[in-house]
């Protein structure tokens, strides 16, 4: 079951997917745009990336989306967007009234905004979307990153009627996996003027008998905490991904959430799920496709899961941003563990000591955790891929961001992927050591791979970080699709397959110290427009995928399939 949003049976929800009015405004600034006077001359699909379509390919600038909507009444209604790139302004136009609801920066996270000043009836929802690079307005999307930044309402949207009293959020944590006890925290809100209003929250899990909890609002907010011991429930393991369903009802509002009972722990250099050591065999995954940009249709999400499973993977590193919640739903169901990563790529002291950058990263982290915390497949948090963790000037930035993640969710381990070993200075802040390395590609030849891996792993164990779990978070080689060479030269599919074969064999058949591998990468993807980067990327793509950008397997796919499936038997 692919779910883009939380489920409801009582709450009135309108799916905003479909065809929207559209116009590309180009170099206009959002502040200079009179929303009521925009002339729309085109139609476009939501979800989707406008600059992945033929007409607007490569366009950067301001775009306007418009859709006719209907407000059931004058009570609070909520617009939820699963991802808009890179920044946007959300506006409601109703007759002579223009209501600016929100502005948001950062494309890979879910955000919501509420409408309270509308009238019942029809209105136009207008979303101004800007995919230009602008550090001052959106410091989380930068032009040098090694992936292409598409623009648009990429992950869909919905309109919900909340009414006067509603369920704001639900958090479900495993407090004791042995007794199958879960802790539930529900935040409720009301617009009622009476601070003494009381209500009842009904909770049922797996269709068992409903429990009722009093809800006492103070300043419009109430929190309900409850523990449930689910004697007959099954635990969530990667090879047995049992899911449970919790239903919450408050007046005429409700929310349905799935969860799994499982604990992630770090013990004796291992990652454990419910005290069972787990070996993570997987790939790094970008959300990218030549026809759809980062707005992947559900059919592509399913195809990706099928290919990942066929290879024998039980692990996906979401690189380098939070993955689509619909993809996480599939991972929950299929038992694929996920490293959920806040957006970031090779940041410097200039960024990590800039309060505006740190604040933008904190917002991204908060939205990532809020969206993903109930997914049992998400077993770790990550951040700041290949940023300058060897620079002591960046310690405060790392402490702030890692501290933010831990404060929001202390139940999952935290890591960052580094390409600076042995000069890293901040491994004391994290639970899992994750190393990006490219022996045999950027560094040396294929025959040197085992020695280079052993040297890094040995130096980690000899350091103060020794004893922590180690993941090889990136390793691989480029292969231009269809390029074959009996001499196995670089850029041939044969070279890539040979390199990956040696890596997997050495890590897991000749050694057993490393507990996880996320090969770089699942699929080829378009890279940055930066000339310096394109000149080192044939076709303008990062070609290190084991499948190409259209999901056609390369020779390396079968190597991974054979090795991983053998290791999991």
Question: Mean pLDDT per 10-residue run, the chain (569 residues)?
Answer: 68 96 96 93 98 97 98 97 97 95 97 97 98 96 95 96 96 98 97 72 91 93 96 96 97 96 96 98 98 97 98 97 97 98 97 98 97 97 98 98 98 98 95 98 95 96 93 98 96 98 96 95 94 87 98 98 94
pLDDT at 451: 97
Top CATH class of 165-261 equals: mainly beta
Domain boundaries, the chain: 13-160, 165-261, 266-477+514-521+557-568
pLDDT at 197: 59
C-beta of residue 316 within 8 angstroms of C-beta of residue 240: no
Paired with 26 in beta bridges are 62
Cα 158 to Cα 81: distance, rounded to the nearest angstrom = 7
pLDDT at 5: 57
C-beta of residue 272 within 8 angstroms of C-beta of residue 265: yes
**What are the angstrom distances between the C-alpha of 186 and each of 189, 260, 287, 368?**
10, 17, 32, 18
344 CB-near residues (< 8 Å, 6+ apart):
140, 320, 361, 383, 384, 385, 387
pLDDT at 198: 72
This prediction's pTM: 0.95
Residue found by looking up tokens 């164990």 in the block: 461
Output the CATH code of domain 13-160: 2.60.120.260
Output the CATH code of domain 266-477+514-521+557-568: 3.20.20.80
pLDDT at 194: 64
End-to-end CA separation in angstroms for the chain: 27
Cα 400 to Cα 398: distance, rounded to the nearest angstrom = 5
Total residue length of the chain: 569
C-beta of residue 527 within 8 angstroms of C-beta of residue 540: yes
Residue 70 Cα to chain centre, angstroms:
31
Q: At what angle do helices 493-504 and 449-461 cross, to 10 degrees?
A: 40
Cα 283 to Cα 405: distance, rounded to the nearest angstrom = 23
Cα 376 to Cα 246: distance, rounded to the nearest angstrom = 14
pLDDT at 530: 85
Cα 318 to Cα 217: distance, rounded to the nearest angstrom = 39
């Amino acid at each position: 079951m692919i779910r883009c949003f939380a489920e409801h049976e009582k709450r009135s929800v309108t799916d905003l997917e479909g065809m929207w009015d559209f116009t590309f405004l180009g170099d206009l600034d959002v502040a200079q745009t009179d929303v009521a006077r925009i002339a729309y001359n085109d139609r476009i699909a939501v979800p989707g990336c406008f600059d992945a379509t033929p007409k607007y390919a490569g366009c950067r600038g301001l775009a306007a989306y418009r859709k006719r909507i209907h407000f059931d009444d004058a009570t609070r209604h909520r617009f939820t967007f699963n991802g808009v790139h890179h920044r946007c302004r959300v506006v409601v136009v109703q007759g002579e009234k223009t209501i600016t609801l929100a502005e948001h920066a950062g494309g890979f996270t879910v955000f919501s905004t509420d409408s309270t000043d509308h009238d019942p009836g029809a209105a136009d929802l207008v979303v101004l979307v800007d995919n230009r690079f602008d550090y001052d307005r959106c410091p989380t999307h930068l032009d040098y990153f090694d992936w292409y930044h598409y623009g648009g309402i990429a992950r869909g949207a919905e309109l919900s009627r909340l009414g006067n009293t509603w369920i704001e959020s639900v958090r479900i944590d495993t407090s004791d996996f042995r007794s199958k006890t879960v802790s539930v925290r529900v935040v409720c809100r009301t617009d009622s003027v009476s601070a003494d209003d009381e209500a009842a929250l009904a909770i049922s899990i797996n269709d068992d008998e409903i429990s009722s909890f009093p809800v006492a609002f103070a300043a419009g907010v109430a929190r309900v905490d409850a523990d449930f011991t689910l004697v007959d429930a099954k635990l969530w393991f990667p090879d047995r991904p049992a899911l449970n369903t919790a239903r919450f009802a408050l007046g005429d509002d409700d929310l349905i959430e799935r969860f799994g009972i499982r604990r992630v722990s770090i013990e004796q250099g291992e990652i454990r799920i419910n005290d069972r050591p787990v070996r993570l065999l997987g790939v790094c995954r970008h959300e990218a496709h030549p026809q759809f940009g980062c707005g992947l249709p559900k059919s592509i999400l399913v195809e990706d899961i099928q290919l990942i499973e066929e290879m024998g993977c039980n692990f996906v590193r979401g690189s380098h941003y939070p993955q689509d919640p619909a993809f996480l739903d599939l991972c929950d169901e299929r038992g694929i563990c996920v490293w959920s990563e806040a957006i970031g790529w090779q940041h410097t002291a200039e960024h990590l000591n800039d309060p505006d950058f740190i604040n933008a990263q904190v917002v991204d982290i908060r939205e990532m955790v809020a969206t993903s915390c109930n997914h049992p497949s998400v077993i770790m948090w990550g951040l700041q891929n290949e940023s300058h963790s060897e620079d002591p000037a960046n310690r405060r930035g790392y402490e702030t961001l890692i501290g933010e993640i831990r404060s929001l969710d202390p139940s999952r381990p935290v890591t960052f992927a580094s390409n600076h070993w042995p000069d890293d200075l901040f491994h004391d802040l994290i639970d899992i050591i994750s190393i990006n390395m490219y022996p045999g590609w950027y560094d040396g030849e294929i025959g040197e791979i085992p020695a280079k891996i052993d040297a890094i792993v040995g130096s980690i164990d000899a350091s103060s970080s020794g004893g922590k779990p180690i993941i090889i978070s990136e390793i691989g080689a480029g292969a231009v699709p269809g390029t074959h060479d009996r001499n196995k030269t670089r850029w041939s599919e044969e070279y890539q397959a040979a390199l990956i074969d040696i890596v997997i064999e050495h890590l897991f058949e000749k050694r057993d110290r490393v507990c996880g591998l996320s090969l770089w990468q699942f699929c080829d993807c378009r890279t940055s427009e930066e000339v310096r980067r394109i000149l080192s990327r044939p076709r303008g793509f990062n070609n290190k995928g084991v499948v190409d950008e259209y999901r056609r397997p390369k020779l390396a796919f079968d190597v991974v399939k054979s090795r991983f499936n053998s290791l999991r038997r």
